[in-house]
Amino acid sequence: MNIIEVNQLEKTYKNGFKAVDNINIKIEKGKIYGLLGPNGAGKSTLISILVGLIRKTSGEVFAFNEPISNFNKISQKIGYVPQEIAIYPDLTALENVMFFGALYGIDRKSLKDKAMESLKLVGLLENSKEYPKNFSGGMQRRLNIACALVHSPELIIFDEPTVGIDPHSRNNILESIMYLNKSGATIIYTSHYMEEVEKICDYVYILDKGKVIEQGTILNLYQRYTKILDSPIMVSITEESNLPDEIFKYCRLDIAEGSRVLIFNETSFKKIIEVLYSHSIEVNDIKKSNLNLEEIFLFLTGKTLRD
């Protein structure tokens, strides 16, 4: 069953900029979807359309079998965690979550219990009576998440929830997301941290310049791009070795874990070994790096800096 169906979606702003260009996406119930793309790829615009913040220009968007134009009918089934922290610093953590719970229509009898459950999930139960203006950035982000989860939504959209926070808060957030998914929630997750997406996501959509340029499971992407991308080989050599100039035609020299390492592609392997052997240079270790999602992402979107 698909919770979200997006067909030929387009969004063009008044200045003529087309932020979303003929996007087709399906979000199946019970899975975690990664939504990736460089700055300006169209992720934020797409999410804003899905949560009813802006209107599409053309195309079809259905959520829970309802047109997105009827967002009021489905709003209680969706939780949205924005990148910008949206909490009230002069309300306690509990009061913040209860306030958002009331907006979602939770009845008074169960409102406090639901709010406490939400705080417990993000590790803030003991801080329920404290004010978020005194919280660290990581605690504020976790409170932001608790406010979005209080009504037990079926679909939760996380927009870069781990930006600029400490490792402990990041780990708590990722564990909470996986727990929510195991409990039945469907997740859409955007992040610039590829290792997070590799860890938690079942399926990935990669966007650039308003279009979906690649999609698939993590394993499927690995299998597809292993044949295309030649993962580098790393040869560790002794510190005293004097390298001949000719070897740098085929590799570069780097420092890894305190050792001198030659890095090169598989096509240069035979030549590198020949040069090392002919100059009696001792090899300590040979490793081939594993392909990862970041390499695939950079291959597809380029390595040029984006604003």
Angle among Cα 104, 109, 111 to the nearest 5 degrees reads 40
Same domain, 105 and 254: no
pTM of the model: 0.83
Count of domains forming the chain: 2
The answer to whether residue 300 is domain-embedded is no
The answer to whether residue 107 is domain-embedded is yes
Looking at residue 255, what is its pLDDT? 81
Give the tens place of pLDDT for each residue, 43-54: 999 999 999 999
Q: How far is CA 147 from the centre of its chain?
A: 20
The pLDDT confidence band at residue 17, using thresholds 50, 70 and 90, is very high
Looking at residue 225, what is its pLDDT? 86
292 contacts: CB under 8 Å, gap ≥ 6: 194, 195, 198
Sheet containing strand 186-190, strands side by side = 78-81, 155-159, 186-190, 32-36, 203-208, 211-217
Same domain, 13 and 88: yes
Same domain, 275 and 176: no
How confident is the prediction for the chain on average, in pLDDT?
91
The answer to whether residue 298 is domain-embedded is no
The answer to whether residue 142 is domain-embedded is yes
Task: Name the token pair of 92.
Answer: 């306690």
Looking at residue 303, what is its pLDDT? 67
Looking at residue 265, what is its pLDDT? 80
- Give the range of the structural domain holding residue 43, as residue numbers without chain letter: 2-225
Same domain, 88 and 178: yes
Distance CA 119, CA 162 (A): 17
The pLDDT confidence band at residue 290, using thresholds 50, 70 and 90, is confident
Same domain, 200 and 242: no
